[in-house]
Amino acid sequence: MITVESLTRKYGSFTAVDDISFTALPGRVTGFLGPNGAGKSTTMRVMVGLTRPTAGSVTISGRRFRDLPNPGLEVGVLLDASAQHAGRTGREILTITQRTMGLPARRVPEMLERVGLTVTEAERRVRDYSLGMRQRLGIATALIGDPEVLILDEPANGLDPAGIRWMRDLLRGYADRGGTVLLSSHLLHEIEVIADDIVMIGNGRIVSQGTKTELLHAAGTLVRAADLNGLERALVAQGLTASPTGDGALRTDADPAQVGKVALQAGFALTDLRPAAGAGLEEMFLQLTAGTQRDGAAA
Amino acid sequence: MTAIDGTIASAGTPAVDGLTTIDGTTAGQPGYVRSPRPTVRRIPLVRLTQVELRKMFDTRSGFWLMASIVISSLIATGAVILFAPDKELTYSSFGAAIGFPMAVILPMIAILSVTSEWSQRSGLTTFTLVPHRGRVILAKAIASVGIGVVSMLLALAIGALGNLAGTAVNGTPQVWDITVMDALLIVLGNVLGLLIGFMLGLVIRNSPGAIVAYFVYSFVLPTIFLVLAANQDWFRHLQPWVDVTYAQSPLFAADGALTGQQWANIAVTGVFWLLAPLLVGLRLVTRSEVK
């Protein structure tokens, strides 16, 4: 479990992280979503003691990171896959981690296999690695201590579609075994596919957080019917919100079951009924970050 | 994963705020499924030092830097045999010839062991695995000094072999004019030079920057002090107390024990040029942000 409490980090007059609080729970994948420069990486660096907070605190399983006797055994961290000595081989980088943590040597080949790096690839120097291979090596470094908490900054960057799928399954499996997974991304789709809980951040502040289902629900329902105006009146009469989207559909905050029931009772034949999910989170992402992200006006 | 070598507590040792705390705080929530783990202990300094030693050798540049100690010693030895006049075919000539490349290479080794964590950004992993940065730096210091001492002993041994070979080839008598005391002082002098490099690495945390700073420290500053001493009477008496290179030069003289005042010069300049900036560098390293 990761607990972030009233965390603030300032650089001079610039506030990179502004009084944020959230919890990443065991058994769940928590997606840390926000546009570039929103403060995700700063928050994650504070979590693992690389950056000092200006105020507030982060605890991992109840302890500050620097109080963990052998942090690699409790927390797997991947902040920047490219931050490695370019002259070392992949195997050597993993071996240094294994030695530092005091793990048996067999963990190195085990992890290389787990992340799908071949023996030949492991013997190559990291400067010759693609970003995808570096990410795999970074994941191996994070997993080698069999930690119960994973903190991953943009882990899907540079992975091909098969690699993204592999990463998703791996993290899902980790969470299903009771692990805590916190991963950041500036890509909504990535988070939408894998996360159970979402923390959305813009300009250093949390703009929204909750379970994915809650957030999807909040995005509402899209409904189409032959008599759109009649349906709208029926919904409003039931105390539900409804507004035309402008392309022949209604958008409502009610869930699809409720909308269907209202339509049935009022006798309207529906032509389309679905959660406003596909575009839902994205719309929310753009809305919520519109005021804060760089090219907000375009959103 | 049952045995975690080096982290298993002996029977009866109380848990060092280990897994029990985790179990306590996550009670009622699904716990992470894995085989039970022995009490987790703090990573010992010995292990950190071993890892830092390994990191000094495991890249091509690191390996060749180490190899250059042996290579340059051999070249310097060969040059003395070939070019030195017969009467100068003494152990101290070999020592002096080998000493010069050592005085450059050893500080570079110390500098790079520190700065590569920033210049190559591997510190992101290093300081995440060991959040107590002071312990990593201490491990690096121990490893660097260890390398320095071993290198110097190796260099002195190569010089001795050169002296044997040179005198045999040229048919001149063997002159062993470096006493054990002299040798120890030379080693100390080189270790001090290495520590100056280490300090500059900590303060600057950038490989090219720290290397340039080292050359300023060891070549530019002494020249300025030399000129100053030659032209300003008032400075001439002050120089041994101000100029760190000048103060340390008796260590390399192979001229027997140092006087009390010479030791005092080394101590005073050492505090000013090495210890004080070292403490500043340590503070910078432990407080700065690792990106």
The overall average pLDDT reported for chain A is 89
Amino acid at B11: A
Q: Across-strand partners of A223? A: A250, A273
The distance of Cα B177 from the centroid of its chain, to the nearest Å, equals 27
pTM of the model as a whole: 0.84
pLDDT in tens, A198-219: 999 988 999 888 898 777 766 6
For B260, the token pair is: 């009390």
Window 199-258 of A: residues touching B by CB (8 A cutoff) are none
Flag whether residue B135 sits within 8 Å of chain A, measured between CB atoms. no
Sequence-ordered list of residues with C-beta below 8 angstroms from that of B209, at least 6 positions apart, any chain: B115
Considering only the C-alpha atoms of chain A, give the largest distance between any 2 of them, rounded to a whole number of Å: 71
The distance of Cα A97 from the centroid of its chain, to the nearest Å, equals 25
pLDDT at B25 over 90: no
- Which range scores top for mean pLDDT: B18-32, B87-101, B125-139, B155-169? B125-139
pLDDT in tens, B182-214: 999 999 999 999 999 999 999 999 999 999 999
Nearest to A49 among B31, B48, B131 (CB): B131
Contact assignment for A104 to B1 by CB distance below 8 Å:
yes
- Give B266 to chain A, closest Cα distance, Å: 37
pLDDT at A251: 83
Give the integer Cα–Cα distance in Å for A45 and A78.
10
**Residue A226, SS3?**
coil
Window 37-66 of A: residues touching B by CB (8 A cutoff) are 45, 48-52, 61-63, 65-66
B207 touches B111 (CB < 8 A): yes
Residues of A in contact with B28 (CB under 8 A): none
B188 touches B103 (CB < 8 A): no
DSSP H helical segments within chain B, as ranges? 19-25, 45-57, 60-83, 91-119, 123-129, 133-170, 180-204, 207-215, 221-231, 233-242, 244-248, 260-270, 276-287
A149 touches A1 (CB < 8 A): yes
Among A2-11, A233-242, B216-225, the range scoring the smallest mean pLDDT is A233-242
Flag whether residue A264 sits within 8 Å of chain B, measured between CB atoms. no
Give the nearest chain B residue to A176 (CA atoms).
Answer: B32
Quick count: other Cβ atoms within 10 Å of Cβ A189?
A: 12
For B21, the token pair is: 């705390």
- Give B19 to chain A, closest Cα distance, Å: 9
The overall average pLDDT reported for chain B is 87
Residues of B in contact with A25 (CB under 8 A): 29
Window 98-127 of B: residues touching A by CB (8 A cutoff) are 116, 120-125, 127
Q: Which residue has the tokens 């930690």?
A: A147
Sequence-ordered list of residues with C-beta below 8 angstroms from that of A219, at least 6 positions apart, any chain: A275, A276, A277, A280, A281, A283, A284
